[in-house]
Amino acid sequence: MSWAASAAAAISALLVATPAAADGVGFLRFSGGANVPLADGTWSQSIKTSPKIGVGIGGMYRDIGAGFTADVAAARVAASENLFAIDASNQRVWEVRLLGHVLYNIPDAVQPNVGLGFRAGAGADLAIASYDRIVFGNNNGKSFTKTGFALELGAAAWWHAATGVEIGIETAIPLSFHSSETAPGGATGFNYTSVGVDILIGARFSSRD
């Protein structure tokens, strides 16, 4: 996507530029944990709690900044659900989210060396799905990708563990909006608005002492 490439280039420039300023800092973040689906009904009933990993880059000037994140959740489809088609099996969904964020940090908010961070972001939600379906002994399964709109609100507590290293616990509310009635092969399940909760553990590496 051209907008994603432009955002990455802009943030990369920010990472290079901010350490030169007395109040600026660039960072690289890694996280992992679980995504718990809450709504809408069809999605939350069909998808179980799933593993999620992510990476992010960004820059801060004093307490305000901007960033870009890429997250991947391996959505676990309940075996009892036909999310895509009747008699479908081995249903798989990879949810890839690419978002730009506005960031706000409160250093030492909890106690010395433990601060809080908040973020709000928007971008694209890519649902990469596949399933098997045996018809007269032949596999009539399909694979396809649908792109929707993504929003996210998040908060984290960060502990300054060492020079340039922070360890944190994050929680976020990811929202996904998909409006496709059908997918190739007549598969259904991509007309939904999903809401979930992410519970993550992360590490952030920055140019700050």
Parse the chain into domains and list their residue ranges: 2-206
User: Which architecture, in CATH terms, is 2-206?
Assistant: Beta Barrel (2.40)
Q: Which residues of the chain have pLDDT under 50?
A: 2-5, 7-22
**Helices and strands of the chain, counted as H and E runs:** 2, 11
pLDDT in the model for residue 83: 66
pLDDT in the model for residue 86: 60
Percent of the chain with pLDDT over 90: 51
Per-residue pLDDT tens for 131-151?
777 777 777 677 788 899 999
Q: Which pTM does this prediction carry?
A: 0.79
Tokens representing residue 136 in the block: 């007269």
pLDDT in the model for residue 16: 42
pLDDT in the model for residue 35: 95
pLDDT in the model for residue 70: 97
- The secondary structure of residue 49, as a DSSP letter, is P
Per-residue pLDDT tens for 67-77?
999 999 998 88
Give dist(CA 189, CA 191) in Å, integer. 6
Beta carbons of 174 and 150 less than 8 angstroms apart: yes
DSSP 171-200: EEEEEEEEE-S-BGGGB---EEEEEEEEEE
pLDDT in the model for residue 17: 42
